[in-house]
Amino acid sequence: MCINGVINLFKGATQCSAITLAVVAFVLGMIAMCLICKLFCPCGKKKPAKKCEKKSASKEDKPFEKRKPHPAPADGSVEIYVGNLSYEMTEEQLRKEFEAFGKVNSARLITNKFNGKSKGFGFVQMPVRAEAEAACAKLNDKEILGRKMKCNEAKNVI
């Protein structure tokens, strides 16, 4: 259809056709605009003047809060930070390494909350300080499963 034909639709008795054509053109324009927005703004929101960002609701609702410190063990035991662990190490293996030096209250690996895989560090609680210090001294820089693990007393920062 040529441009003159479209102009004639608006002039003559065929105003109903002209209105239909205008509505169709408007709807097609809106669809095209939505597609362009989806291509250039993956969050699906209308693109603001400066930039388009997908923001999580928790960051918008809450201002920056300091991380709460992990409390010191209430029973007086020593908590040991163990880092640079192999990602294949299990909590049972970690416990056995420290049980060679004395009693272990708990051994836990820190894992990714989405896939459950180890982050490469963990914590061990031992009730006797002398045993904990001996374990740290012997196990620090010891190679286990291809990595030299690092041990020191966990810092419970307030």
Residue spans of the domains in the chain: they are 1-65, 78-153
d(CA 123, CA 40): 45
According to the model, what pLDDT value does residue 57 have?
Answer: 47
According to the model, what pLDDT value does residue 26 have?
Answer: 84
* pTM of this prediction exceeds 0.85: no
According to the model, what pLDDT value does residue 59 have?
Answer: 46
What is the token pair recorded at 41?
């703004």
CATH number for the domain running over 78-153: 3.30.70.330
Instruction: Read off the pLDDT of each residue in 123-141 and give the average, rounded to a whole number.
Output: 94
According to the model, what pLDDT value does residue 62 have?
Answer: 52
Please name the residue that has the structure tokens 């259809």: 1
User: Could you tell me if 135 and 149 are in contact, meaning their C-beta atoms sit under 8 angstroms apart?
Assistant: no
Residues 16-39 have pLDDT tens digits of: 666 777 777 888 888 888 777 777
Residues 91-131 have pLDDT tens digits of: 999 999 999 999 999 999 999 989 989 999 999 999 999 99
